[in-house]
A and B are shown apart, each in its own frame.
Chain A
Amino acid sequence: MADLSADRTYSSRLSACPACDAAPLAMRVADASMKGGDIVLSLPTAHCAACITDVERALNGQPGVRSARVNLSLRRVMIDAPGHEAAEFIPVLEQIGYEAHELDPAALSSTAADRQGRDILMRIGVAGFAMMNIMILSIAVWAGAEGATRDMFHWISAVIALPTVIFAGQPFFASAWRSLKSGRLGMDVPISLALILATAISLFETSQSGKHAYFDAAVMLCFFLLVGRYLDYRTRAVARSAAEELTALEVPRATRLVDGIEEQVNVADLTPGDVIRVRPGARLPADGTVIAGMSEIDRSLLTGESLPVRAGPGAELSAGEVNLTGRLDLRVTAAGRDSSLSRLADLVAMAEATRGHYASLAERASRAYAPVVHLLALLSFAAWMYLSGDWRISLNVAAAVLIITCPCALGLAVPAVVTSASGRLFRKGLLIKDGTALERLAEVDTVVFDKTGTLTLGKPELTNLTDLPEDLRPVAAAIAAGSNHPLSQALSAALRAAGVSEGEIDRTTEIPGYGVEAEWQGRRVRLGRADWVGADAPDADGPVSVLAVEGWSPVVLRFADALRPGATYCIAALTARGTRVIMLSGDTEAAVARAAAELGITDYRAGVTPAEKEAEVASLAQSGAKVLMVGDGLNDTAALARAHVSISPATGLDAARVASDIVLTGQELSPVADALDMAMKARTRIKQNFAISILYNIVAVPFAMVGLATPLLAALAMSASSISVTLNALRLR
């Protein structure tokens, strides 16, 4: 019944224009999908119309889903399904071939950020509309309209320009007021002064039937500067939303045991004394003491050690470590702000405070620019007062000086170059989080790398496949496939790559902390620690695992940490540019020396603690080096924050990504070397743009000072300089 009446009201509104009928409906649909978004999933592989349709159709077919809408620009899908969990929808998408990850909606503040972007766009629209209309009227004046006609055109211009300047100029006025209150002369002070002075004088001149009015100049100034501001905002917004997405990928949940019953809680709700359960493969949410279970712990992100460490009852573990093989129950000793993770974050805050504030090129330029411009305007006013004694002419000249020197080019130069460069780097797999990172990157002469997880993938790789007899390979493949231990997985991967098929084994059991045991043709097979399988402990300089089959002599399998793709190229390219390359690692001497030899790094130190890393970077900085730190772990965060500029891979720990200026989004390390070149090019372009705008001022200012700057000349000069710097920025490749 409800359906019928809905149909009737719908058909009664049908008109000749189908779009008119669809529009309110479309808006309602859009509204509904916007309000939703209780669940946000990241869809990194979605890229086309078919992807949108597939994903939306699959999700809308699920019970309980009110609406699902894909945002292809952000590669996300928002699902409105009250009372449902994200985990229910991920398999649905995986079934139709889309990789999906849950995002923490609380960590995504994109809506607030969007409002700011829309706000600037709105002001650009208003300024653009006013600029075009006033320009039409101005052309008539420039073409020679006289007397009453000219006055009328000026009055109409005033009616359009006044509200426009008040509305569109607000960002500049607000920021100028802020900087004046804190006693500084920012770039926005001369801008605001020029806007206000130009509008006020034009109004006065119009009321006096004067010849010149600068309404068009004032509005055009607004327009161009807002465009620069929007470019600046876009770059930051893209970086911020991508960085937020990386953070949001780690949904902070923990499994708490209450009277033996598991419940899911937010990590923030954990308190000391709680018992938590950590499954294999999960990251520890808090510091704690093991009370039950046996496992191995990967603490490479915290200490840089690439070998897993054994943990049993009584072991003290820290938040951020990864549980590898067995289930562990822990009693929480410190959670949240007190955990070792947060304590290290405090170290980061301290290091950041000592790094000092970096003044960007634009800031330094504006610091020199504002006083010069004000002085020039004041000088012209004084000189004209002295020469002519007419304050009206003097004020006009002073305003003309302010308008013509106004930094359209300066305000556009840096944002245009940074937008263009960071867009290119983003496509290569580098995300610039900080606006000044690009400029700082251009000054780098020393690069410090962490080893585990940065130069290497932090994943072991089998090095001695030939030691494994042909007959035992299928058994090894079968037994390794049954375990999640990184060494077993590495063995399994190596055998798969060699084309070995899995043999038939029975009764596979994994003994956490020791290894895997199984039966093959009635013989006992063990893969794991040397003392457990019954072999002599091999003298190893890296991770080893021993395969023991009854009736065969035990086989020692050796592993080494695999290099990150592009690492060799990256080091070679950096060395070729004459950049000093240093490796600092918390891993053992032998492991570090081997990686250094493979990569061709001569300058390295092993067994370095987090504090030593930071001290090393600080001492390099003290000796005048501009250090780029590349690292992924908690042991690097302090050094990352201390360095002149820092890069961390997306696979790194959240804390490391937060501390660094640039995030490497892909697996490849090669973009790091390219980024240095791109940064140099970008800096050259910024300087060229400054040169262009200075050159233009040198030509235009004398005209204004002798009183020859007509509104036409001001309009021409202003647009010419703005367009030339934008084109120069786009030349960047």
Chain B
Amino acid sequence: MEILALLIPVSLILGATGLVAFMWSLKSRQYDDPKGDAERILSDEWDDHPRPSPDQNKDP
């Protein structure tokens, strides 16, 4: 039964990690355009290198 002392916290931590991940994805507005995000993965743009941030790409 001592194993419970380990298993219960582990299961709670794993669950909480999932919950935090869900909250983060929600906060960072990842559910705003599900259809667009599904299509964007098919685009070739920024495949080879990450997209520059907007203030970088306008500078000369």
A residues within 8 Å of B by Cβ? 2-3, 6, 18, 21-22, 25-30, 32-34, 48-50, 52-53, 57, 66-67, 70-74, 114, 118, 121-122, 125-126, 129, 132-133, 136-137, 149, 156, 160
Provide a sorted-by-A list of 15 A–B residue pairs whose CB atoms are within 8 angstroms.
A3-B59, A18-B50, A22-B50, A26-B50, A26-B51, A29-B53, A29-B54, A49-B41, A53-B44, A57-B45, A70-B36, A118-B31, A121-B31, A132-B15, A137-B8
B interface secondary structure, majority: helix
Q: How far is the CB of A593 from chain B (nearest CB, A)?
A: 48
Name the residue on A nearest B50 (C-beta): A22
Residues of A near B35 (CB, < 8 A) are 72-73
The answer to whether A122 and B26 touch across the interface, beta carbons within 8 angstroms, is yes
B53 touches A49 (CB 8 A): no
Beta-carbon contact of A72 and B11 below 8 Å: no
Report Cα–Cα, A49/B8, bound state, in Å.
Answer: 45
* Cα A114 to Cα B19 with chains together (Å): 20
* CB–CB A52/B43 < 8 A: yes
From B22, B29, B50, A125 is in contact (CB under 8 Å) with B22
B60 to chain A, nearest CB (A): 8
Establish whether residues B34 and A29, one from each chain, have CB atoms under 8 Å apart when the complex forms. no
Structural contact, B58 and A66, CB atoms closer than 8 A: yes
B56–A6 CB distance below 8 A: yes
Partner of B54, one of A21, A32, A53, A71: A32
| Chain A interface helix/strand/loop/mixed | helix
A382 and B52 CA atoms in complex are apart in Å by 71
Q: How many residues of B contact A (CB 8 A)?
A: 35
Alpha-carbon separation in the docked complex, A693 to B18 (Å): 33
Chain B hits for A136, CB < 8 A: 11
A53 to B45, Cβ gap below 8 A?
yes
- Would A129 and B8 be within 8 Å (CB), given that A3-B59, A32-B54 are in contact? no
A25→B15 contact, CB < 8 A: no
Q: Would you list which residues of chain B between 1 and 57 have a CB under 8 Å from chain A? A: 1, 8, 11-12, 15-16, 18-19, 22-23, 26-29, 31-36, 39-45, 50-51, 53-56
**Distance of A371 Cα from B55 Cα, bound (Å):** 62
CA distance A50 to B41 in the complex (A): 11
On whether the beta carbons of B16 and A129 are closer than 8 Å, the reply is yes
| Alpha-carbon separation in the docked complex, A73 to B1 (Å) | 51
Asked if residues A73 and B53 are in contact (CB atoms below 8 Å), the reply is no
Q: Which B residue's beta carbon lies closest to that of A117?
A: B31
Q: Which residue from chain B places its CB closest to the CB of A33 in the assembled complex?
A: B54
Q: Which of A27, A72, A132, A133 contacts B33 (CB 8 A)?
A: A72
Q: Please, which residues of chain B bring their CB within 8 A of the CB of A121?
A: 26, 31
Smallest beta-carbon distance B18→chain A, Å: 7
Is B50 within 8 A of A133, CB to CB?
no
Contact assessment for A133 and B15 in the assembled complex, using a CB-CB cutoff below 8 Å: yes
Structural contact, B39 and A133, CB atoms closer than 8 A: no
Contact A126 B42 (CB under 8 A): no
A149 to B7, CA, bound (A): 14
**Given contacts A33-B54, A48-B42, A125-B23, could you give 11 more A-B pairs where the C-beta distance is less than 8 Å?**
A25-B50, A29-B53, A34-B29, A50-B43, A52-B36, A73-B34, A73-B36, A118-B31, A133-B11, A137-B8, A156-B8
> How long is the Cα–Cα vector from A3 to B55 in the complex, in angstroms?
10
Closest to A160 in B: B12
Please tell me if the beta carbons of B56 and A129 are within 8 angstroms of each other in the complex.
no
Q: Is the CB of B15 within 8 A of A149?
A: no
How long is the Cα–Cα vector from A71 to B33 in the complex, in angstroms? 6
- A38 to B19, alpha carbons, bound, how many Å? 34
Q: How far is the CA of A122 from the CA of B23 in the complex (A)?
A: 7
Closest to A124 in B: B22
* Inter-chain contact A49/B43, CB cutoff 8 Å: yes
> A73 touching B40 by the CB < 8 A rule?
no
CB-CB under 8 A from B55, the residues of chain A are 32
Given A27-B28, A73-B35, A125-B26, verify A133-B12 contact (CB < 8 Å).
yes
Least Cβ distance of A147 to chain B in Å?
12
Residues of A near B11 (CB, < 8 A) are 133, 136
The distance in angstroms between the C-alpha atoms of A156 and B43, with both chains bound, is 48
**Chain B residue with minimal CB distance to A159?**
B12
Whether the Cβ atoms of A66 and B54 lie closer than 8 Å is: yes
Least CB distance, A74 to chain B, in whole angstroms = 7
Q: Which of A21, A49, A114 has the most C-beta atoms of chain B within 10 angstroms of its own C-beta? A: A49
From residue A371, how far is it (CB to closest CB) to chain B in Å? 38
A133 to B16, CA, bound (A): 10
Q: What is the CB-to-nearest-CB distance from A688 to chain B, in angstroms, rounded to a whole number?
A: 31
The CA of A118 and the CA of B45, in the complex, are separated in Å by 30
Hey, which chain A residues are within 8 Å of B56, CB to CB? 3, 6
Q: Which 10 A-B pairs have the closest CB atoms?
A: A72-B36, A49-B42, A49-B39, A129-B19, A73-B35, A71-B33, A32-B54, A72-B35, A22-B50, A125-B22
Q: Which residue of A lies closest to B39 (CB)?
A: A49
A717 → B minimal CB distance (Å)? 25
Q: For residue A72, which residues in chain B have a CB less than 8 angstroms away from its CB?
A: 33, 35-36, 39
Question: What residue in chain A is nearest B46 (Cβ atoms)?
Answer: A22
Q: Which residue of B lies closest to A56 (CB)?
A: B45
In the complex, the chain B residue whose C-beta lies closest to that of A140 is B4
Knowing A66-B58, A71-B33, A72-B33, the reply to whether A25 touches B53 (Cβ < 8 A) is yes
**Partner among B18, B29, B32 whose Cβ is within 8 Å of the Cβ of A129:** B18
Contact A29 B51 (CB under 8 A): yes
State the Cβ distance, A161 to closest chain B Cβ, in Å. 13
On chain B, the residues within 8 Å of A132 by CB distance are 15
Identify the interface centre among B19, B41, B45: most chain A CB within 10 Å of its CB.
B19
Docked-complex contact A30 and B29, CB < 8 angstroms: yes
Bound CA–CA A33/B40 (angstroms)? 15
**Closest CB of chain B to A526's CB: distance in Å?**
54
Are the C-beta atoms of B50 and A21 separated by less than 8 Å? yes
B40 engages A25 (CB within 8 Å): no
Instruction: Give B55's nearest chain A residue, CB to CB.
Output: A32
Measured between beta carbons, the chain B residues less than 8 angstroms from A52 are 36, 39-40, 43
